[in-house]
Amino acid sequence: MRLAELSERSGVSTATIKYYLREGLLQPGRRVSATQAEYDDAHVRRLRLVRALIQLGKVPVATAREVIAAAEDESLDHHLRLGAATWALPAEPEPPEDDPDAAAAGRTVGALLEHVGWRHDQKAGEVSPAHRTLVAAVAALRRLGYPCGVAHLLPYARLAAQLAVTDLDMVEEQPTEAGQIEAAVALTVLYEPVLLSLRRLAHAEESARRFMDDDGADSTAGA
């Protein structure tokens, strides 16, 4: 199919597809003449994935390219490629060396990982982007004076472990290795908005349960 048809089938403008081609998010089509190229269903699928990563997953274009490149890198083994999405995702900037909250947060996170027995968040001696983000978030909570010790984080970690089991189950449903890699990327990123949305809906529900009468009035009025 031609670029125009690829555009129509994916719902992405031709201008944007050309931009993605330039940025290397999409394989070039099979050149059929000097000024025409042929695209196939793989392109449609890839394009939909890229769109979903960028629009829903809020992944920057440059990062999406890294993720996809890592997922396609035949030199990495299966486990590493499954983790490629995680590693390529943007990391927080390194906090200032002398920030006591960041240092304390780092120790808290270390203790937490120790406690739950996770030891696979390192590669070549450096901690993962996820680890760094976690430290930054804990540091911010500390600065604001909110509780975020190991005891508070532990329930989150346990729930995350449960999520990982169901997520990996979904990945393993895919029959081919390439399918598993793509699924790992897609499910990692696209279930994030699902999870956050559900958490917010659950907040609304739980808040209503605690603070409202059955008839919908605020039962804490004047408190």
Partner DNA sequence: TTCGTTGGGGAGTGGCACTATCCAAGCATG
Partner DNA sequence: CATGCTTGGATAGTGCCACTCCCCAACGAA
Residues that bind DNA (CB under 7 A): 2-4, 13-16, 18-19, 21-22, 28-29, 31-37, 54-55, 60-62
Stretch that binds a copy of itself, among 17-25, 32-40, 61-69, 81-89 (CB under 8 A): 81-89
62 near a copy of itself (CB under 8 A): no
CB 49 within 8 Å of CB 64 = no
Query: What's the CA gap between 7 and 18, in Å, rounded?
Result: 10
Query: What's the CA gap between 192 and 122, in Å, rounded?
Result: 22
160 near a copy of itself (CB under 8 A): yes
202 near a copy of itself (CB under 8 A): yes
Which residues within the stretch 98-137 sit at the binding site for a copy of itself (CB under 8 A)? Answer: 113, 118-121, 128, 130-131, 133-134, 136-137
User: Could you say which of 35, 75, 162, 215 contacts a copy of itself (CB under 8 A)?
Assistant: 162
User: Could you say which of 80, 111, 126, 178 contacts a copy of itself (CB under 8 A)?
Assistant: 80
Query: What's the CA gap between 143 and 145, in Å, rounded?
Result: 5
205 near a copy of itself (CB under 8 A): yes
User: Could you say which of 6, 59, 102, 148 contacts a copy of itself (CB under 8 A)?
Assistant: 148
Q: What residue has token string 């990692």?
A: 188
The beta strands (E) that lie in the chain are given as: 30-33, 36-38, 122-123, 126-127
Three-state secondary-structure class, residue 75: coil
Number of residues that bind a copy of itself (CB under 8 A): 86
175 near a copy of itself (CB under 8 A): no
What b/e string do you get for 156-175 counting C-beta neighbours within 10 Å, with b at 16 or more?
Answer: eeeeeeeeeeebeeebeeee
Q: Which is nearer to a copy of itself, 33 or 79 (CB)?
A: 79
State the binding partner of 148 from DNA, a copy of itself, none, CB within 5 to 8 A by kind. Answer: a copy of itself
Query: What's the CA gap between 208 and 218, in Å, rounded?
Result: 9
